[in-house]
Structure 1
Amino acid sequence: MTTASPTTASESSAPAPHMAGNFAPVTDELTAYDLPVTGTIPAELSGWYLRNGPNPRDAASPHWFFGDGMVHGLRLEGGRAVSYRNRWVRTSTFTDGPRVVDGQGRRDLAAGVANTHIVRHAGRTLALVESSFPYEVDCRPAHELETVGPYDFDGRLTTAMTAHPKTCPTTGELHFFGYASRTAPYLTYHRADAAGELVISRPIDVSAPTMMHDFHLTAGHVIFMDLPVVYDRDHPGMPYGWQPERGARLGVLRRDDPYGEVRWLPIDPCYVFHSLNAHDDGDQRIVLYVCRYAEFGGRSLPHLWRWTIDLAAGTVTEDQLDDQFSEFPRVDDRLAGQPARFGHATSGELPGSGPIPGALLRYDLRTGAVVRHDFGPGRTPGEAAFAPADDRPGGPGWLITYVYDAATDTSDLVVLDAEDISADPVATVHLPRRVPYGFHGNWLPDPAG
């Protein structure tokens, strides 16, 4: 059974790259049940696969990053693909139009598009974008991914929130930051406890409003990336410009001294949207894995690099680990901030990049080996989330991703065995419509019991 509520899309004779092909938005919200499956969905998978991304309601957007958030969700249960639905996140920008200030003349942090990520912490499912507050989404099994509303940690959050928070698997704490593009303090570090209470908010002194999309967490440290992409309101498209002459640096803060000194260490100018993982290596070394661009602004493609911080020497060693294009890196989230042997990333099309063979890459971070799953001509995956098969961090599990097929202009949800990703898919769920390329998501298992 399928139901749909159409809206009207504006037309363009020559769409920009981020509005063409599978970057183009869909124009309605759909619900479909009992979806056809090739292969067998593992019985252990009971929950939601949710993925967020930009989908401008009026089918027009000056940049890929600016479209209204839309969550695409597939519910798996009992070996069945129970339902698919896509829903816009009903932010105040979506319902009331763009606005900068609230009724009291202050910056309106509830005004945003919530289009970048969707995470769960302390029982809340939050749709995120780095320019505003999170928006809570209802993903209980019998619900429709309705928007609950903006969430500001009971009034304690007074900055925007990154779209890439990190949950410590040991403490259950949620670490995140907010950055400002116009006024100081340009960076604020936040920490919420396992119950969801915001317990730490401290400004960090940086000299310019750089675009800080992601950061790093280890068992003992938080590491910030102050990279030379700087706010410039006159810059076309994204209001950020590449200024390599400013240099680049990593800022190290001890978790046990959250209001203490941030130690800054220089690195070569570059840009990083996404980190794979990080971990402490003894008392004086920190190892970070990133998808690194040599330049920002469509001038280069990212590759996997390792940065090794030597706190005793005050240096960072930088090593490229792979020459294949890779983005949207992930690990088993139960090993976030811990030594994880395996990680994975996606190789596929970006706006303006031209065709790139669609693949998932599995990295053995201990041996350097790389295993590749190619999806075939014209088939392009998005970011893949890890779904565990049991309670052993780093153990067996599955990679779940949406895959677009250009030949049929449709999408599938594909499940791969994470320990043998070169093999044929474990299951392929055939969706009733294409899922536009988007950003980030998660496998959200049903709570135990």
Structure 2
Amino acid sequence: MSTPKPYLTGHYTPVADEVTATGLTVEGTLPPELTGRLVRNSHNPKPGVTPTHWFKGSGMVYGIRLREGRAEWYRNRWVRTPALDGAPYLTEHGPDLTASAAGTHVIEHGGRLLALCEANLPFELTRELDTVGAYDFSGKLRTAMTAHPKEDPVTGELHFFASSPFPPFLTYYVADAKGEIVHSAEVPGATASLKHDFAITRRHVVFVEGTVTFDPTDHSGIPYSWSDQQPARIGVMPRGGDGAGRVRWFSIEPGNMLHVANAYEDGLGRIILEGPTVDREGFRLSWNWWIGAPGRGSEPVSRSYTRRWVIDLVAGTVDEQIIDDLPVEFPTLNEEYLGAENRYQYAVSFPDEEGFGGYGVVKYDRITGARRIRPIGDARMPSEALFVPAAGATGEDEGYLLTVVSDLKQDASQLLVLDATGLDRIATVHLPHRVSAGLHGSWIPDADRDGART
């Protein structure tokens, strides 16, 4: 008898049904400024389907509607792409960019809700999470789109990229606040290295090429593997149209980074970049979990420790170090500080490669070096913790963290609302069923920057 794939068991057991529930039970008091929708994505294959890789599971989006102290509704919907019904990505005419898992992230920009998967076009959803269809920015997007675009909190621009195993390996895009692509350019010198995330600062775009690269001999369905021949590098390029062709590449130590915590220019003009990274063994353990191979680790991320790079553009040097020995992933921050110097960061902690430690929500103070952990409890796993500012907030950490908890003992899930200052629980919203542990999501307030309803 074959061993069940780890991404189809435990916290990752797929949800079999689409559900709509109203008038959710709330313990505690929901702050009235939490008026909007929490939307979250996950890889959730249909019953009877066993994908060859965790990331190939069909996307299911979960939504929780909060309004002025009430939890009005919950709903979950598959993103109805051609791949949901078995359409292949590779065809006799080349890749089908609409045959998407659409299960990595979901964002709102320019009034559109978009489910993302980095090998494909975005898929637009309605406010009720029904699928509208593939979205190509009025024909201006002819490549795939990263699952980790960055919205500049000052300009409202959306910065994103397309990564490909074939030339052009890397294409950079900027869409304005209304959602129109206003700039695109190929990034010179890029390689087929896996690029899942990137960073922006106020003046630069920062790309990370790790030691994992395209491997046509890999048959997991996600053809990448660790290669000692692939140099690890950071690419720094001026933002916008003036930066095309002026990328500088800096060598770094071997490793792989999936998610950026933040990047910014310090007072000396250096770029500070931070995010969890894995070494060769960490990547091997994680990858084996993702594909369900023998000898896999017990968690989807192993040996994932926060690293800091200090890039001196004048001296042409990079100083790097691991700054914490706690296994973490899914870093977040108050996104009003995205691209600028931030004091606080948040993450999800995981057991180590030996199974010691537990799941928790972590808060880092980058000035004092303090680390605070809120354990979530036995057999309970939190999702990425999203920061929402409190009404009238003047401090960076004055706000709330929203995380969806998978509870195996109760076979249930809850939305946990924490005070971002001290990680104390403020409220719990009980969901109608257990939600599969997933990846990324967004808090979408009812009013955008122009005050329009979304």
2:110 is matched with 122
The corresponding residue for 1:248 is: 232
Whether 1:324 aligns to 2:309 is no
Secondary structure of the equivalent of 1:309?
Answer: strand
> Residue by residue, what CA displacement relative to the aligned partner does 1:367-410 show, whole Å, maximum 9, x if unpaired?
11111111122211111111111365725110001111121121
Does the residue aligned with 1:18 lie in a helix, a strand or coil? Answer: helix
Instruction: Give the superposition deviation at 1:101.
Output: 3.8
1:82 matched to 2:67? The reply is no
Question: In the alignment, what sits opposite 1:26?
Answer: 15
> How do residues 241-320 of structure 1 correspond to structure 2 at under 5 angstroms?
241-255=225-239, 257-282=242-267, 284-295=269-280, 296-298=283-285, 300-320=302-322
The offset of 1:258, in angstroms, is 2.4
Q: CA offset at residue 261 of structure 1?
A: 1.1
Q: 1:131 to 1:99 in 2, by over 3 A?
A: closer
* Equivalent position SS for 2:429: strand
Match of 2:443 in 1: 443
Superposition deviation, residue 443 in structure 1: 0.9
Change (3 A) 1:382 1:366: same
1:359 aligns with 2:356: no
Provide the residue aligned with 1:226 in structure 2: 209
Offset from partner CA, 1:167-216 (integer Å, 9 cap, x none): 111111110100112x2111111111111111111111346311100011
The answer for the alignment partner of 1:66 in structure 2 is: 56
Displacement after TM superposition at 1:19 (Å)? 1.4
CA distance in 2, matches of 1:444, 1:265: 36
Where do 5+ consecutive residues of structure 2 fail to align? 287-301
Equivalent pair of 2:174/2:182 in contact (CA under 8 Å): yes
Q: Tell me by how many angstroms 1:13 deviates.
A: 6.2
Task: Check 1:85–1:317 CA distance in 2 against 1; reply closer, same or farther (3 A cut).
Answer: same
User: What's the TM-score once normalised by structure 2's chain length?
Assistant: 0.90
In structure 2, distance between residues paired with 1:403 and 1:332: 21
* 1:383 and 2:384 aligned: yes
Are 1:133 and 2:121 matched, yes or no? yes
Equivalent residue pairs, number: 428
Q: Is the contact between residue 42 and residue 438 of structure 2 (CA under 8 Å) also seen in structure 1?
A: yes
Moved over 6 A (4+): none
Check 1:161–1:391 CA distance in 2 against 1; reply closer, same or farther (3 A cut). farther
CA contact (8 A) 2:397 2:420 kept: no
Code of the residue aligned with 1:187 in structure 2: it is L
Provide Cα deviations, 1:84-140, integer angstroms capped at 9, x if missing partner: 1110001121246224248xx25321221110001111111111000000001111x
User: TM-score scaled to structure 1, two decimals?
Assistant: 0.91
Match of 2:45 among 45, 56, 72: 56
Secondary structure of the equivalent of 1:274? Answer: coil
Is the 2:187–2:244 Cα contact (8 Å) retained in structure 1? no
> Deviations along 1:1-21, whole A, 9 cap, x unmatched?
xxxxxxxxxxx8631111111
| One-letter amino acid of the structure 1 residue matched with residue 197 of structure 2 | D
Q: In the TM superposition, what is the alpha-carbon distance from 1:348 to its structure 2 partner?
A: 3.1
Please show how residues 155-166 of structure 1 align to structure 2 within 5 Å. Answer: 155-166=139-150
Give the fraction of aligned pairs with identical amino acids, expressed as a percent.
44
What's the counterpart of residue 431 of structure 2? 431
Q: Give the superposed CA RMSD.
A: 1.9
For residue 203 of structure 1, what is the aligned residue in structure 2? Answer: 186
CA contact (8 A) 1:349 1:380 kept: no
> Which residue of the partner structure matches residue 148 of structure 1?
132
Q: 2:81 aligns with which of 88, 91, 100?
A: 91
Distance 2:427 2:251 in 1: 45
Opposite residue 422 of structure 2, the aligned amino acid is: D
What is the distance in 2 between the residues matched to 1:258 and 1:202?
9
Q: 1:199 corresponds to which letter in structure 2?
A: V
Judge conservation of contact 2:105–2:441 (CA < 8 Å) in 1: yes
- Which of 407, 418, 421 is the equivalent residue of 1:419? 421
CA distance in 1, matches of 2:393, 2:181: 29
Match of 1:426, SS state, is strand
